[in-house]
Amino acid sequence: MGVVALLVLGSTNAKAAGPYRFHSPSGRFDILVQPLSDDWTHVKKAQEGAAKESMKQYGLDLYAAKSTEPVNSMVYSDLNPPMTPEELVRTMLWSPNEAFVALPDRQKAREQNHVFQLVASLSTNKLWSLQADHVQWIDDHRFVGDLNTKELPGAIIEFDGTAGKANVLVQPESGIGYQIAELSGRQLTVKEILNDRGTGQTTWESFTPSCFNVDLDSLKKRSVPCPASAALGGSR
């Protein structure tokens, strides 16, 4: 879903004038990536404990193929030096039929498990900024993602682009949080993790995590064995 067919116009040097043109996985959309020069861009303020001060580095315009008018635009910020346009585009996460796309923001400037996403509609000029890690698209309008921050140590959220909002799907508890283990169709497998809420006396040596499925239509839960690869790993 995050793999993108690339067509680059000009040099791959991120400091060059650009712009650089890429295609979405299906070819339905073009992404025009424009490096932002120092005399245009400005600093994005630090968020204490969440993200370091960073520079606005790239403007991304999203076009329907063969169109001359963008349907949406995003501005990517991060620590210098910037990654290349190719590297940036490869991190984009497209919904199955490309109704929405998520771009992980400030990928090097993050702190303390805060992971930011810019989410753009590909039919209207609407853009959201939210926190979610290990983003997994459920369908063309909804995704689930992990949160493991001080405020929500081990929560799972669901973003709904049609409604234009995100809600906490699975709340953390005292001492125990949750993370996405697997998504198969409309069934989300969730695994227990330790968190820093509560006494903090439990250790991995004495803790055997369990898993449960959440039906993403009915929200009913049932206990299941944990899958062999029961965690998605590091931030994307």
Per-domain residue ranges of the chain: 1-44+52-131
Closest CA to 8 of 18, 16, 17, 70: 18
Average pLDDT on 183-208 reads 78
| pTM across the whole model | 0.86
For residue 202, name the pLDDT band (cuts at 50, 70, 90).
Answer: low
Determine the average pLDDT of the residues in 35-43: 86
pLDDT band at 140; cut points 50, 70, 90: very high
Please state, in angstroms and as integers, the Cα–Cα distance from residue 58 to each residue in 65, 82, 86, 100, 130, following that order: 21, 9, 12, 19, 19
**pLDDT (average), residues 96-106:** 98
Residue 5 pLDDT: 34
- Asked if 35 and 12 count as a contact pair (C-beta separation under 8 A), the reply is no
CA pseudo-torsion sign 43, 53, 133, 84: positive
**The tokens 């439990």 sit on which residue?**
202
Tokens of 206: 């004495």
pLDDT of amino acid 230: 58
Considering only CA atoms, which of 134, 142, 235 is closest in space to residue 190? 134
Q: How confident is the prediction for the chain on average, in pLDDT?
A: 88
Residue 195: count other Cβ atoms within 10 Å of its Cβ.
21
Lowest pLDDT segment from 68-77, 97-106, 161-170, 198-207:
198-207
Q: Which residue has the higher pLDDT, 204 or 108?
A: 108
pLDDT tier, 107 (very low <50, low <70, confident <90, very high otherwise): very high
Is residue 11's pLDDT more than 60? no
**What confidence category does residue 105 fall into, taking pLDDT thresholds of 50, 70 and 90?**
very high
pLDDT of amino acid 228: 85
Q: Which pLDDT score is estimated for 185? A: 94
